[in-house]
């Protein structure tokens, strides 16, 4: 008996959205609907991807549209829509403009896919995920942000590069908001089970922690006219795969907290198990006093961002 393919909608056909779509079909996760307000862009990118299918060997279908009706009955919806950062801008500078975009997108999505699992990528992601939850009415397990996977991947790369070891043997944990107050955790990061604190000097670890916090800004500064999309797209696809294939991977993601880590009523990055039901379990790590203080500072930044919302 044929198993129905999963349907993945990606809102926003910019660099992050299109890169995510390409990863999804190459991983054979399901058929992808790429939707954007700009006529021709999602259609053109979808056609371009489909013309790569004979070369890459995937049978999934990518379609482009400007009509939310075409997204009906999606299993997973990814929201990448919004303005990207420019040099000198923080993620918070995008807050009010992107909040209005995310609100409108969410309203349209929920009309057609009320039972989807929603992944928010638009910045500032912790705040935008809060906007999407309040707008959608989805239960907390069915909505999450995708940022911690990216932050951890950046930290993993810096560790791998420093030690000249395979990325596959490096595990890193990053908590807190996706921004300058994020909390990379060297005490919970390792290489083949060996704590990085035993392999790298504190001075070098501190530099890598700061570079992880500045990871997006470093790329924005280099590109000058855009922001990162290769690593973000791969990070989103990783989360989608864990949901579609019920892999129950442990990913750091912005999720809605109700008492975990002593925090309540906000979205913030913490390690959690991601599977077919979305956020299946939040994992509470033992943090030292310094780490807990940094997490509280990060949480306060998220609270202030939510308070300042103008939607």
Mode of pairing for the β-strands spanning 264-275 and 62-65: unpaired
What distance in Å separates the CA atoms of residue 292 and residue 269, rounded to the nearest whole number? 13
How many C-beta atoms surround the C-beta of residue 164 within 10 A? 6
- Any bridge partners for residue 31, and if so which? 7
If we measure between CA atoms, which residue out of 155, 105, 289, 147 comes closest to residue 232? 147
Check 23, 157, 178, 188 and give the catalytic one. Answer: 178
Q: CB–CB of 266/299 below 8 Å?
A: yes
What distance in Å separates the CA atoms of residue 21 and residue 119, rounded to the nearest whole number? 14
Q: CB–CB of 214/180 below 8 Å?
A: yes
Q: CB–CB of 19/232 below 8 Å?
A: yes
Q: At what angle do helices 148-163 and 230-244 cross, to 10 degrees?
A: 120
What distance in Å separates the CA atoms of residue 20 and residue 13, rounded to the nearest whole number? 10
What distance in Å separates the CA atoms of residue 126 and residue 107, rounded to the nearest whole number? 19
CA angle, 236 then 196 then 193, to 5°? 75
Sole residue written with tokens 């107050």:
181
What distance in Å separates the CA atoms of residue 189 and residue 187, rounded to the nearest whole number? 6
Is 157 labeled as catalytic in the residue annotation? no
Q: 23: which 2 tokens? A: 């990863």
Annotated catalytic sites, by residue? 178
């Amino acid at each position: 008996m044929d198993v129905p393919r999963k349907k993945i909608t990606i809102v926003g056909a910019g660099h992050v959205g299109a890169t995510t779509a390409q990863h999804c079909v190459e991983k054979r996760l399901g058929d992808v609907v790429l939707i954007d307000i700009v006529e021709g862009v999602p259609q053109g990118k979808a056609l371009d991807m489909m013309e790569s299918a004979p070369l890459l060997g995937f049978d999934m279908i990518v379609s482009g549209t400007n009509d939310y009706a075409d997204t009906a009955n999606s299993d997973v919806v990814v929201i990448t829509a919004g303005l990207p950062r420019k040099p000198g801008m923080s993620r918070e500078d995008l807050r009010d403009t992107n909040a209005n975009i995310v609100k409108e997108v969410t309203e349209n999505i929920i009309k057609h896919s009320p039972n989807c699992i929603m992944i928010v990528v638009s910045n500032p992601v912790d705040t935008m995920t809060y906007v999407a939850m309040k707008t959608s009415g989805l239960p907390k397990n069915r909505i999450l942000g995708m940022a911690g996977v990216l932050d951890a991947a950046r930290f993993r790369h810096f560790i791998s590069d420093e030690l000249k070891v395979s990325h596959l043997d490096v595990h890193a944990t990053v908590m807190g908001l996706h921004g300058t107050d994020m909390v990379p955790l060297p005490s919970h990061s390792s290489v083949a089970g060996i704590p990085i604190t035993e392999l790298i000097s504190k001075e070098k670890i501190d530099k890598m922690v700061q570079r992880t916090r500045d990871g997006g800004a470093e790329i924005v500064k280099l590109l000058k006219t855009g922001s990162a999309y290769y690593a973000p797209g791969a990070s989103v696809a990783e989360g989608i795969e864990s949901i579609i294939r019920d892999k129950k991977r442990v990913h750091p993601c912005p999720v809605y907290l109700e008492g975990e880590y002593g925090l309540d009523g906000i979205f913030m990055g913490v390690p959690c198990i991601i599977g077919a039901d979305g956020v299946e379990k939040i994992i509470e790590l033992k943090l030292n006093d310094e780490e807990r203080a940094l997490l509280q500072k990060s949480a306060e930044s998220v609270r202030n961002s939510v308070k300042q919302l103008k939607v």
